[in-house]
Amino acid sequence: MQTNETKNAGVSGFFGRMIRKQVMIPLAALLLLFLFNLIMDPSFFKIELGYNSAGNPVLSGFLITILDSGSELAILAIGMTLVTAATGGQDISVGATTAIAGSVLLRVLCGTNSRPETLQAPIIVAFLAACVVAMLFGAFNGVLVAVFKIQPMIATLILYTAGRSIAAWINNNELPVVSDESLTYFGEFIPGIPIPTPFFIAVACMIVIGLVLKFTNLRLYTQAVGINENSSKLNGLNPVFIKILSFVILGLCVAVVGLIKVARISTINYSVIAKDIEMDAILAVALGGNALSGGKFNMTASIIGAYVIQCLTTTLYKFQVRSDALPAYKAIVVIVLVIVSAPVVREKFNAFMAKRKVKEAA
């Protein structure tokens, strides 16, 4: 029969193991947000099956909104995690580069006519063109960081400043509109499937990056370069290539988000598309418990962190927080979550749990 001391030790050991698991931090944050909404307004969890203008069944509700909009952020979090781990810095140009990718996509689809009656090229061709351009801009950022040793946030400030102007220049400052309904399938719903397509796209990206990290040395090489660049070089790695590769992968993620963004409205607004999304992507990485100084990372935690950020945003909108005040409320909550998830806090908690375990054993 267990004594109270044994039971307490088992409970404390259980919670200690849970805290030490990095993925539990964003999960705990998500649980707290769900609990808050459950207490304040249980209708937050209501999901309804309705029909869109085309007569196709679609699901609606706050949870569906989180899955839908959060998927874009989750895709960006994949690339941002690799960049952060390899370089110890962040790319603040992903919003502007998304505008460039979306602009290229529309340019290929519309050709020289900004209002074509039919697509001038297959969607897959336009998407591949957007991928190539976004990856090239990613490589540009990577070269500045890896070759010229410019701090990532400063290096990416160039595209952050000029990216939206480049996007507008690609289409001669026009706003192309695609009338073909097939494009909207990538940003809304596939006929007959009531779950938003962006969620399936995000799941596909998660599967791909999961397989890459499992069956290649990308995780090991990225972490090695982020932890100690000089040491990794002595062990035969090429830090310059690894850093550039991380930015190129982020560029690919940006192109996917660009497709989703453009597909939602069949056009583009250069100044608004993906505005401030880079900040949410960085917060998702931080909320996942990943050190922003680089090194070891947990991709799963970053992806969950992305959905936590979107859940927070949706919750604030639900309670009618003014759009101009939204960043302030979000910043307060995020600061608390990031501090709780900080490695130093986890280390002190682990030390506290270890001391308590010693005392209980004595």
**Residues 294 and 334 placed together within one structural domain of the fold:** no
The per-residue pLDDT for 214 is 96
Q: What is the pLDDT of residues 231-264, one digit of tens each?
A: 999 999 999 999 999 999 999 999 999 999 999 9
Range of lowest pLDDT (45-54, 124-133, 219-228): 45-54
Do 219 and 356 lie in one domain? The reply is no
What band does 330 get if pLDDT is binned at 50, 70 and 90? Answer: confident
If one compares 344 and 236, the residue with the highest pLDDT of the two is 236
Based on the domain organization, do 129 and 215 belong to the same domain?
yes
Q: What is the pLDDT of residue 306?
A: 95
The mean pLDDT value for 214-234 works out to: 95
Q: What is the pLDDT of residue 20?
A: 52
Whether residue 158 contacts residue 87, with contact meaning beta carbons closer than 8 Å, is answered with no
Is residue 155 situated within a structural domain? yes
Weakest-pLDDT range from 19-23, 165-169, 325-329: 19-23
pLDDT at 8: 46
pLDDT at 304 over 80: yes
Q: Report pLDDT for 350.
A: 76
Is there a domain that residue 14 lies in?
no
Query: What is the predicted pLDDT for the residue at 43?
Result: 92
How many structural domains compose the chain?
A: 2
Clarify whether residues 287 and 238 are in a common domain: yes
- Same domain for 115 and 129, yes or no, is yes
Helix (H, G, I), strand (E, B) or coil at 291: coil
CA 11, 17, 20, 22 torsion-angle sign: negative
Over residues 266-271, the mean pLDDT reads 93
Q: Check whether residue 169 and residue 248 sit in a common domain.
A: yes
Name the pLDDT band for 14 (thresholds 50, 70, 90).
very low
Tell me: do 228 and 206 sit in the same domain. yes
Q: What is the 3-state secondary structure (H, E, C) of the chain?
A: CCCHHHHHHHHHHHHHHHHHCCCHHHHHHHHHHHHHHHHHCHHHHCCEEEECCCCCEEEECHHHHHHHHHHHHHHHHHHHHHHHHHHCCCCCCHHHHHHHHHHHHHHHHHCCCCCCCCCCCCHHHHHHHHHHHHHHHHHHHHHHHHCCCCCHHHHCHHHHHHHHHHHHHHCCCCCCCCCCHHHHHHCCCCCCCCCCHHHHHHHHHHHHHHHHHHHCCHHHHHHHHHHCHHHHHHCCCCHHHHHHHHHHHHHHHHHHHHHHHHHHHCCCCCCCCCCCHHHHHHHHHHHCCCCCCCCCCCHHHHHHHHHHHHHHHHHHHHCCCCCCCHHHHHHHHHHHHHHHHCHHHHHHHHHHHHHHHHHHHC
What is the distance between the alpha carbons of residues 130 and 134, in angstroms, rounded to a whole number? 6
Same domain for 343 and 204: no
Residue 249 lies in a domain: yes
Question: Is residue 114 scored above 90 in pLDDT?
Answer: no
Closest C-alpha among 55, 80, 37, 90 to residue 293: 90
Check whether residue 189 and residue 330 sit in a common domain: no
In-domain check, residue 110: yes
Same domain, 151 and 267: yes
What are the pLDDT digits (tens) for 55-111?
889 999 999 999 999 999 999 999 999 999 999 999 999 999 999 999 999 999 999
pLDDT at 1 over 60: no
Whether residues 348 and 297 share a domain: the answer is no
Q: What is the CATH number of the domain that holds 287?
A: 1.10.3470
Mean pLDDT for the stretch of residues 172-191: 93
Report pTM: 0.89
For residue 195, tell me if it sits in a domain: yes
Same domain, 264 and 340: no
Q: Is the pLDDT of residue 195 over 70?
A: yes
User: What is the token pair recorded at 314?
Assistant: 């949706």
Residue 35 lies in a domain: yes
Domain range enclosing 56 = 26-321
Q: Is residue 19 part of a domain?
A: no
The pLDDT value given to residue 337? 66
Residue 107 has a pLDDT of 95
Q: Which of 136-150, 246-260, 303-317 has the lowest mean pLDDT?
A: 303-317
Average pLDDT of the residues of the chain: 89
Query: Within a domain: residue 77?
Result: yes
